[in-house]
């Protein structure tokens, strides 16, 4: 079972440039969460801060009672064993074949013998559909295969937390759909806590249990998928529904003239909330909520047509 990540009043700057400030949220144990935000809002910086690669200016990141923002290097080393990380480009070692890339964490962090390592590596490569490619070098395979190899490497230590940075970047829609299904199937199997950074709106609308949005140097909102997909908050509504009307512009925030020109323009209606992606075997994940449950519990009327199977692949604005 995954563990939760409690973030309290977290702030990070580079020099005088504030990236984001006073971020507070709890990423629930065993659930799939997505973090969104316009380009340059520090989503990847947030992931690196969660794992202790970057130190925050202030605030806490508490995992199993340890604040990794202030703990010793020894404690941080131990906490990091709970994590698996999939970087944007897979971060493969170019001179190693895929087998050795995936085996690297086991050889680095455990005392397992080569026979046991081989069994674990082949199990994880089978899990991500790479059996038969173990002898290939990273330069000999596609970007999608490199991402899957990076995912296999992230899984070899059986992590309780998976941090995934833009898994869909450079992938076509079909490969993006395959990797989204893989995340859901993995969560169903291993119950790890997933945090995915992405720009893909279709993925965001169908994959996660929870959604967060970083905007204008703060966390605009974080909560259950249905809460954000039914939100009337202008920034959230604009971003999650890929709309041009709203406070976000080409340079993150629109200026006063742009906003004034839009004051009489109504935002398009919210599109239907699609059904959440389910595991391939049809057995619901332990963290999966019944469709429409959050809306019913909170007295929210979702947009017409929500939670119908015909809208499962609906693109915002279509």
pTM of the model: 0.89
The count of other CB atoms within 10 Å of the CB of residue 172 is 11
Cβ–Cβ < 8 Å for 123, 155: no
Determine phi and psi for 191, rounding to 5 degrees. 60, 25
Query: What CA–CA distances, in Å, run from 203 to 97, 98, 114?
Result: 30, 27, 38
Sign of the alpha-carbon dihedral angle for 122, 123, 129, 131: positive
Mode of pairing for the β-strands spanning 58-63 and 5-14: antiparallel
In b/e form, how buried is each residue of 292-308, taking b as 16+ CB within 10 angstroms? eebbeeeeeebeeebbe
- Cα distance between residue 215 and residue 296, in whole Å: 28
Mode of pairing for the β-strands spanning 32-36 and 210-215: parallel
DSSP bridge pairs for 36: 213
User: Which pLDDT value is given to residue 63?
Assistant: 96
Q: Number of C-alpha atoms within 13 angstroms, CB side, residue 5?
A: 31
User: Which pLDDT value is given to residue 252?
Assistant: 60
pLDDT tens track for 127-157: 888 999 999 999 998 888 888 899 999 999 9
pLDDT tens track for 173-206: 888 888 899 999 999 998 999 999 998 888 999 9
Q: Is 91 a residue whose pLDDT tops 70?
A: yes
Mean pLDDT, the chain, rounded, equals: 89
5: which 2 tokens? 């990540």
Query: Angle between the 143-155 and 98-109 helix axes, to the nearest 10 degrees?
Result: 20
Span 146-175, average pLDDT = 89
Q: Is 239 a residue whose pLDDT tops 90?
A: no
Span 264-273, average pLDDT = 82
Q: Is 299 a residue whose pLDDT tops 70?
A: yes
Residue carrying structure tokens 């941090």: 163
Contacts of residue 36, defined as CB under 8 A and 6 or more positions apart, other chains included, come to 43, 197, 198, 199, 204, 211, 212, 213, 214, 239, 240
Give the residue from 232, 239, 193 showing the smallest Cα distance to 213. 239
Determine phi and psi for 49, rounding to 5 degrees. -75, -35
Cβ–Cβ < 8 Å for 85, 52: no
Helices (H), the chain: 43-50, 73-79, 98-109, 114-127, 143-155, 173-190, 201-206, 225-229, 234-240, 256-261, 293-297
Span 103-120, average pLDDT = 93
- Cα distance between residue 210 and residue 195, in whole Å: 9
For the ranges 12-21, 64-73, 88-97, the lowest mean pLDDT is seen at 88-97
**If pLDDT is split at 50, 70 and 90, which confidence band does 318 have?**
very low
Contacts of residue 177, defined as CB under 8 A and 6 or more positions apart, other chains included, come to none
User: Which pLDDT value is given to residue 162?
Assistant: 96
Give the residue from 294, 114, 281, 121 showing the smallest Cα distance to 187. 281
Structurally, what CATH architecture does the domain formed by 5-225 represent?
Answer: 3-Layer(aba) Sandwich (3.40)
Domain boundaries, the chain: 5-225
């Amino acid at each position: 079972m995954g563990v939760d990540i409690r973030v309290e009043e977290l702030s990070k700057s580079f020099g005088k440039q504030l990236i984001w400030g006073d971020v507070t949220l709890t990423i629930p144990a065993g659930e799939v969460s997505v973090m969104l935000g316009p380009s340059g809002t520090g989503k990847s910086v947030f992931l690196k801060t969660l794992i202790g690669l970057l130190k925050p200016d202030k605030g806490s990141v508490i995992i199993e009672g340890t604040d990794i923002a202030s703990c010793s290097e020894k404690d941080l080393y131990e906490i990091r064993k709970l994590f698996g990380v999939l970087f944007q480009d897979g971060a493969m070692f170019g001179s190693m074949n895929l087998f050795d890339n995936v085996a690297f964490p086991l050889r680095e962090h455990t005392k397992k013998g080569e026979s046991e390592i081989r069994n674990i590596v082949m199990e994880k490569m089978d899990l991500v559909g790479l059996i038969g490619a173990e002898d290939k070098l990273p330069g000999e395979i596609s970007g999608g295969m490199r991402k899957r190899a990076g995912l296999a490497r992230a899984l070899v230590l059986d992590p309780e937390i998976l941090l995934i940075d833009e898994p869909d970047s450079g992938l076509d829609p079909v490969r993006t759909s395959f990797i989204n299904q893989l995340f859901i199937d993995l969560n169903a199997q291993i119950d790890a806590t997933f945090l995915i950074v992405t720009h893909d709106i279709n993925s965001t609308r169908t994959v996660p249990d929870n959604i967060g949005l970083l905007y204008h140097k703060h966390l605009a909102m974080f909560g259950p998928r249905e809460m954000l997909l039914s939100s009337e908050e202008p920034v959230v509504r604009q971003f999650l529904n890929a709309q041009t009307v709203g406070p976000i512009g080409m340079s993150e925030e629109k200026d006063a003239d742009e906003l004034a020109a839009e004051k009489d323009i109504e935002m398009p209606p919210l599109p239907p909330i699609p059904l959440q992606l389910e595991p391939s075997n049809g057995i619901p994940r332990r963290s999966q909520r019944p469709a429409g449950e959050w809306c019913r519990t909170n007295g929210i009327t979702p947009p017409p047509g929500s939670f119908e199977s015909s809208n499962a692949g609906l693109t915002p604005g279509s």
